[in-house]
Amino acid sequence: MNSIEPILTYIIKNWIELIAAFFGIASVWYSRKNNILVYPTGIISVLIYVYICMIHKLYADAGINFYYFIMSVIGWINWTSKKEEKYVYPISFCSKKEWAIGLGFFFGSLVILLLILSKTDSNTVVGDSLVSSSAITAMWWMANRKIESWYAWIFSNIIALPLFYSKGLHPTVVQYFIFTILAIWGLKTWIQIHSKENHAIKG
């Protein structure tokens, strides 16, 4: 019984974070599979994380999670949109314009976040800003089913690992480690799906 008590105590103390982590992992899993359930599971996770990040003074991450919520709604609409029985947003690589927009999101939001967070009591200004700005780009590309979104997620997740560890958010650290593995897997899967779809069209 004594060996179980610390586990139960930990679960009771961190139950909100554990729920958010569970739905976050589920969301990335469904995203890798190109399944629409990526969005309802993701919405549950990000709304909980808005609350968690505000408590731990991760203001940029709180804002990015609210942005995730907005983009999840847009992505849900995009992923289910069809025209003549074909998806309007199939898996594809970014065009030059989409690359420019994505990089614009990244550098624009990075500068803004650095300026804003430098005025707060946050002690992780650079890390918080990098995680959030790269995730802004990743989420926009993901909502439009762009393969490059996975590269942005991998970068964001790797930066997030030491950031959340420094805040003592250990379930979230585990979650982001799993996110990184799933993002690498998702990148490979989406490239394969894209290749098969192109082959089917040409065939």
Which pair of tokens denotes residue 167? 């805040």
- For tokens 């700005």, the residue is 133
Query: Rounded distance, CA 66 to CA 34, Å?
Result: 22
Question: Would you say residue 146 lies in a domain?
Answer: yes
Question: Would you say residue 177 lies in a domain?
Answer: yes
Question: Would you say residue 26 lies in a domain?
Answer: yes
Question: Would you say residue 43 lies in a domain?
Answer: yes
Question: Would you say residue 89 lies in a domain?
Answer: no
Total of domains in the chain: 1
Confidence of residue 188 (pLDDT cuts 50, 70, 90): very high
**How confident is the model over 134-152, as pLDDT tens digits?**
999 999 999 999 999 999 9
Which pair of tokens denotes residue 157? 């997740």
**How confident is the model over 26-35, as pLDDT tens digits?**
999 999 899 9
**How confident is the model over 51-78, as pLDDT tens digits?**
888 888 877 778 878 888 999 999 999 8
Task: Tell me: pLDDT of 21 over 80.
Answer: yes
Structural domain that includes position 33:
5-82+97-202
Would you list the DSSP string of the chain?
A: -TTTHHHHHHHHHTHHHHHHHHHHHHHHHHHHTT-TTHHHHHHHHHHHHHHHHHHTT-HHHHHHHHHHHHHHHHHHHHHH-EETTEESS-SBPPPHHHHHHHHHHHHHHHHHHHHHHTTSS-S-HHHHHHHHHHHHHHHHHHHTTBTTHHHHHHHHHHHHHHHHHHTT-HHHHHHHHHHHHHHHHHHHHHHHHHHHHHHHHH-
The percent of residues above 90 in pLDDT, for the chain, comes to 51
Question: Would you say residue 184 lies in a domain?
Answer: yes
Task: Tell me: pLDDT of 128 over 60.
Answer: yes
Question: Would you say residue 149 lies in a domain?
Answer: yes
